[in-house]
Chain A
């Protein structure tokens, strides 16, 4: 396991790349779905008003 995490001495670069990718993709997906939900909420409110 330690050997796996060490990535042959390239740990900072490899995990940095995977970490950054995860961060950007999770943020993009969360932003998209929260925009959709906010839009639904807004429409529901205006429909009831």
Chain B
């Protein structure tokens, strides 16, 4: 495990391994997405309270889960970058940020499109929605801060600190529906007792969640590969790889 981790920390090893991995990731992504969409839009029964509007769940909830997952991953990368000065952690952190921002934006917009017919409003300034909006600003702040600092080492440390500080928002988002009264419904899947969602509705949701996660790792690998080429353009492994291609 540790040896594997160290190998991933080496740019040429990462670049080669990701090239082999990517087609497989996209293939499993396509399968999970195909099944999730068919299951969610066709097979799952209509909700007895929300009608067919509940089908927004299959894009809204996976996007919202990923908006938190990506942020936690970035905070972990920030900690690794600050403590062990691992270059790859910095690269992964900044490569993940736009994908996390995209998921957060999707969660907010699809939530708004779900809120209008169910709550009668596009937006309320309640705890869940507001803390998710703050998450979007954190992502944009990290991207902006990284772009604004010329010195790469300083920029890497600055975004690592911001990612770590901002992680306090993650439990606030998750528990917001319990801590404050809100229009947003409580958790139906991530509870310790049995999920309060029918199995025919749940399985497509898990398939979509898997698809969204695989999409994230695929795009992340592509972005890390591009970033590595930029940073290591003068190094021997890049030159020999391009020379032999």
Contacts and interface: CB of A to CB of B under 8 A. Distances in A.
A44 B114 contact: no
A35 B223 contact: yes
Q: Interface extent on B, as a size class?
A: 35 or more
Most buried by B among A13, A17, A33: A17
B92 interface: no
Q: Interface extent on A, as a size class?
A: 20 to 34
Given A13-B56, A13-B116, A39 B229 contact: yes
B223 A32 contact: yes
Contacts of B42: 4
Nearest to B99: A28
Interface in B94-113: 98-99, 102, 105-106, 109-110, 113
Most buried by B among A16, A25, A35: A25
B106 A36 contact: no
Contacts of A31: 98
Interface in B182-205: none
Contacts of A46: 233
B52 A39 contact: no
B209 to A, nearest CB: 13
Interface stretch (B78-86, B145-153, B236-244): B236-244
A9 B60 CA distance: 19
Contacts of B219: 28-29, 32
Nearest to A12: B113
B48 to A, nearest CB: 12
Interface in B109-158: 109-110, 113-114, 116-117
A9 B118 CA distance: 13
A24 interface: yes
6 contacts: A13-B56, A29-B222, A32-B219, A36-B222, A36-B225, A39-B226
Shortest Cβ-Cβ A-B pairs, 8 listed: A8-B52, A36-B226, A17-B110, A10-B53, A7-B52, A21-B59, A39-B229, A32-B222
Given A20-B113, A28-B98, A32-B223, 11 more contacts: A8-B51, A10-B51, A10-B117, A17-B113, A21-B59, A28-B102, A29-B215, A39-B226, A40-B229, A43-B238, A43-B242
